[in-house]
Amino acid sequence: MIAAAIYKDGAIARVITVPDYPAIASNMLEGEIGFEIPAQAAFSLPINLDLVRAFYHARIDQEAGTCRSRFITDVPGQAQTYLRKEAEARAWTEGDEVANPGLYPFMLAEASVRSVPIAQVRDEIMDQVNQLVPMAAMIEAKRIHAKRMVDAADDIPGIAAAAAVQWLA
């Protein structure tokens, strides 16, 4: 169950609860605009904007995660593996894998399994990092900015507009 605040001429005309998002559109009359709000916010007037903001904060976080997952493997433990591989690649210097093999378990294992030099593994890791960091940084900046704009918005249409992020634009 979700809810919607239906606006007409810039003011709330009514609040409805519906089973799903398409039902919001099918319940609107000519000239009305519907904004999804959490169901618990629809049970009292005035609508609790803190609940609406929290709802849109969660949506922003979910969308940022979905966007990130287009570029990374999103399975449990994978983020820690990526961080460890990056740390190994940044720390590695030629010949150190022989003197201190315990410092490079991921790179040594991958080089061994693939039968390639550790330097190649290191270069590939750093290439991936260098490609992903700017994109990840932009997604994070947009996520933080959108949440701040949601917090600054005075009404439901403003909150919904602030949460409408163009993640890859």
> How high is the pLDDT of residue 137?
95
> How high is the pLDDT of residue 71?
85
Q: Is residue 21 domain-shared with residue 63, that is, in the same domain?
A: no
Write the pLDDT tens digit of every residue in 67-88.
998 888 878 888 899 999 999 9
Identify the residue with better confidence: 95 or 24: 24
Pairing type for strands 11-18 and 32-37 reads unpaired
Q: Is residue 37 domain-shared with residue 64, that is, in the same domain?
A: no
pLDDT score of 157 more than 90:
yes
Neighbouring CB atoms inside 10 A of 47's CB total: 19
Q: Is residue 127 domain-shared with residue 163, that is, in the same domain?
A: yes
Q: Is residue 94 domain-shared with residue 34, that is, in the same domain?
A: no
Q: Is residue 134 domain-shared with residue 165, that is, in the same domain?
A: yes
Average pLDDT over residues 39-52: 89
pLDDT score of 94 more than 80:
no
| pLDDT over 70, % of the chain | 99
Q: Is residue 141 domain-shared with residue 92, that is, in the same domain?
A: yes
User: Secondary structure of the chain in the HEC alphabet?
Assistant: CEEEEEEECCEEEEEEEECCHHHHHHCCCCCEEEEEECHHHHHCCCCCHHHHHHHHHHHHHHHHHHHHCCCCCCCCCHHHHHHHHHHHHHHCCCCHHHHCHHHCHHHHHHHHHHCCCHHHHHHHHHHHHHHHHHHHHHHHHHHHHHHHHHHHCCCHHHHHHHHCCCCCC
pLDDT score of 112 more than 90:
yes
pLDDT score of 98 more than 70:
no
Domain residues for the domain of 31 are 1-46
Q: Is residue 8 domain-shared with residue 80, that is, in the same domain?
A: no
Cβ-contact 55, 49 below 8 angstroms: no
Name the pLDDT band for 43 (thresholds 50, 70, 90). confident
Could you identify the residue written with the tokens 């918005």? 153
Domain boundary among 28, 46, 64: 46
Report how many domains make up the chain. 2
